[in-house]
Structure 1
Amino acid sequence: MSATIFLDTPQGRRLAYHLTPGAGPCIVFLGGLKSDMEGTKAVHLEAWARGRGYGFLRFDYSGHGESSGIFDEGAIGDWHQDTLAVIDELTEGPLIVVGSSMGGWQALLLARARPERIAGMVTIAAAPDFTEDGWWAGFDGAQKVQLMAVGRVELPSDYMEPYVVTRRMVEDGRDHLVLRTPLDLPFPVRFLQGTADTAVSVETAIRLLQHATGPDMRLLLVKDADHRFSDETCLKIIEDAVIVVRGHG
């Protein structure tokens, strides 16, 4: 495995990444909340892309993995800036964007910011607007009061250690919502979603499909797949989706 390389961003962050040269469009993997670029899907897709001679980029947002920063101090907007920095500095030409969970939200934000760069998109349990529709909407009165007064609330998770939700994460999330205004995806898109996902609901996937507009958009539901979406069957489904949106399906 190649050594980790670091990029210094205009915001003063130091982002860890691995870039595999190869034929375009380069595949860019956008990881989930508190995930990192060493996750099963990212590493598997990198090896798969290398075997086909495709370019591939995976990286850690600030406050994640090997990158600088503290997770509890970050927010959706910060990680959007990180995504733009690595895209603008490390890649050229068209991209195939693969976004997992929160990375799906980041992929949609990227589509708004750099639509001309994206040749195709695959999302895996995309979680757009989850700070508002998941966290804030799910808080009871006491939690909302605590968040606004103290600035943080701890939440349990089925997939990781309990994590802290900060007031800044929620308020910043409101500045980056994608399901309240038009969302045009003018390229092939495949939304992948497991029916046994307890972190992102099938209803969320359907809402995204119905809200977004584009010429070639499909939602694939995988029965009994969970949020990780990383067993052998699911990894093959992701591979197939990438092939399709590249235009070689």
Structure 2
Amino acid sequence: MAACASLVSAAALARRKSWDWAAFSFSSAALLSRMVERTPRKGPVFRWKTHASFLRRPNLPNLAYKKLKGKTPGVIFIPGYLSNMNGTKALAIEEFCKSLGHAYIRFDYAGCGSSEGNFEECTVGKWRKDVLSIIDDLAEGPQILVGSSLGAWLMLHAAIARPTKVAALIGIATAADSVVTRFNQLPTEAKKEVEVKGIWKIPTQYSEDGFHIIKYSFIKEAELHCLLKGPIPVTCPVRLLHGMKDEVIPWQTSMQVAERVISTDIDIILRKNSDHRMKEKEDIKLLVYTIDDLIDKLTTSN
């Protein structure tokens, strides 16, 4: 384990010359407009499509996704809780993969964004199936999974379930076991109140209401998917990025994940002034550099 990024290879540095960091802005609309305005291009300006494709699944909600064809290893972005495939990190990774010519997939969980399904009926287990559907039915060849918060918890499950297809993992504020851990830290009376009422209101700055509502049934189902009680059978390279000012998931959670994962190729990268979302310019730069280094590692080792 290491507390800093891996040494950057010459090949990775060469690829980065085509990446225009001055193009960044940190709302999605501004991000896209600046990339179009300031990145030199030949031929017609690339226009972002506003519609998504759908992965049709018998007896399961259809999933909205966008897929960029290209070289392997491909990259799949797995969003966080109540997030979707149109966030800053998802779009920045797409532009980066496009510049390198690598395949990329971003998608919405069932019940979220443009996907079908009822959010109220969703569980960690159902979203785990969504991730596996994307890997099984859309991805071609080895994949680097980039999971944000809840998505990083799910990426670990995907790596366990599909070890031959998942080539590497990048966790951003990895929220492994988070809802269960946080619930178990409540006083006994508070836990009983949640059980009786059937809901738990968690204060948050990321909701207009000032809180997220979590069903007690969601918590109990999530217990079936906890990973931190024993070894995590993931053997591929793992990179864990975490902000030390994360007020949602403590950075120590990434340390716990690193201790449990059996892979010997694992780095923990802490950013002192970053928060939970890790979507500022330097956060995004670190993220795509990490993807670039893993692509270089995976392609030069084959």
Question: 2:75 corresponds to which letter in structure 1?
Answer: I
1:185-218 deviation digits (Å, cap 9, x = unpaired): 2121110011111111121111111111113101
Equivalent residue, structure 1, for 2:179: 131
8 Å CA contact retained: 1:29, 1:42: yes
Equivalent residue, structure 2, for 1:107: 155
Report which stretch shifted further, 22-31 or 71-80: 71-80
8 Å CA contact retained: 1:119, 1:245: no
Give the structure with higher Rg (CA): 2
Residue 137 of structure 1: how far off its partner (Å): 1.8
Equivalent residue, structure 1, for 2:14: none
Q: Structure 2: how far apart are the matches of 1:196 and 1:100?
A: 16
Question: 1:117 corresponds to which letter in structure 2?
Answer: K
| 1:44-59 matched pairs, under 5 angstroms | 44-59=92-107
| 1:13-52 matched pairs, under 5 angstroms | 13-52=61-100
Q: Structure 1: how far apart are the matches of 2:267 and 2:233?
A: 14
Q: Structure 2: how far apart are the matches of 1:143 and 1:11?
A: 37
Does the residue aligned with 2:99 lie in a helix, a strand or coil? helix
Note closer, same or farther for the CA distance 1:172–1:11 as it changes in structure 2 (3 Å cut): farther
Q: Does 1:224 align with 2:273?
A: yes
Does the residue aligned with 1:108 lie in a helix, a strand or coil? helix
Does the residue aligned with 1:158 lie in a helix, a strand or coil? coil
Equivalent residue, structure 2, for 1:204: 253
Note closer, same or farther for the CA distance 1:9–1:146 as it changes in structure 2 (3 Å cut): farther
8 Å CA contact retained: 2:235, 2:261: no
Structure 2 gap segments, 5+ residues each:
1-47
Equivalent residue, structure 2, for 1:74: 122
Q: Structure 2: how far apart are the matches of 1:72 and 1:142?
A: 25
Residue 62 of structure 1: how far off its partner (Å): 0.9
The Cα RMSD (Å) is: 1.5
Higher strand share: 1
Equivalent residue, structure 1, for 2:231: 182
Equivalent residue, structure 1, for 2:292: 243
Structure 1 gap segments, 5+ residues each:
none
Q: Structure 2: how far apart are the matches of 1:204 and 1:106?
A: 15
Which residue among 123, 143, 146 is the counterpart of 2:193? 146
Does the residue aligned with 2:279 lie in a helix, a strand or coil? coil
- TM-score for the superposition, normalised by structure 2: 0.79
Residue 143 of structure 1: how far off its partner (Å): 3.4
Does the residue aligned with 2:236 lie in a helix, a strand or coil? coil
- TM-score for the superposition, normalised by structure 1: 0.95
Q: Structure 1: how far apart are the matches of 2:143 and 2:176?
A: 20
Note closer, same or farther for the CA distance 1:142–1:9 as it changes in structure 2 (3 Å cut): farther
Does the residue aligned with 2:135 lie in a helix, a strand or coil? helix
Q: Structure 2: how far apart are the matches of 1:247 and 1:216?
A: 15
Does the residue aligned with 1:122 lie in a helix, a strand or coil? strand
Residue 145 of structure 1: how far off its partner (Å): 2.1
Equivalent residue, structure 2, for 1:155: 202
Corresponding residue pairs, total:
248
8 Å CA contact retained: 2:170, 2:240: yes
Does the residue aligned with 1:218 lie in a helix, a strand or coil? strand
Residue 46 of structure 1: how far off its partner (Å): 0.6
8 Å CA contact retained: 1:34, 1:71: no
Q: Structure 1: how far apart are the matches of 2:233 and 2:267?
A: 14
Does the residue aligned with 1:247 lie in a helix, a strand or coil? helix
Percent identity, aligned pairs only? 31
8 Å CA contact retained: 1:99, 1:123: yes
Residue 229 of structure 1: how far off its partner (Å): 0.5
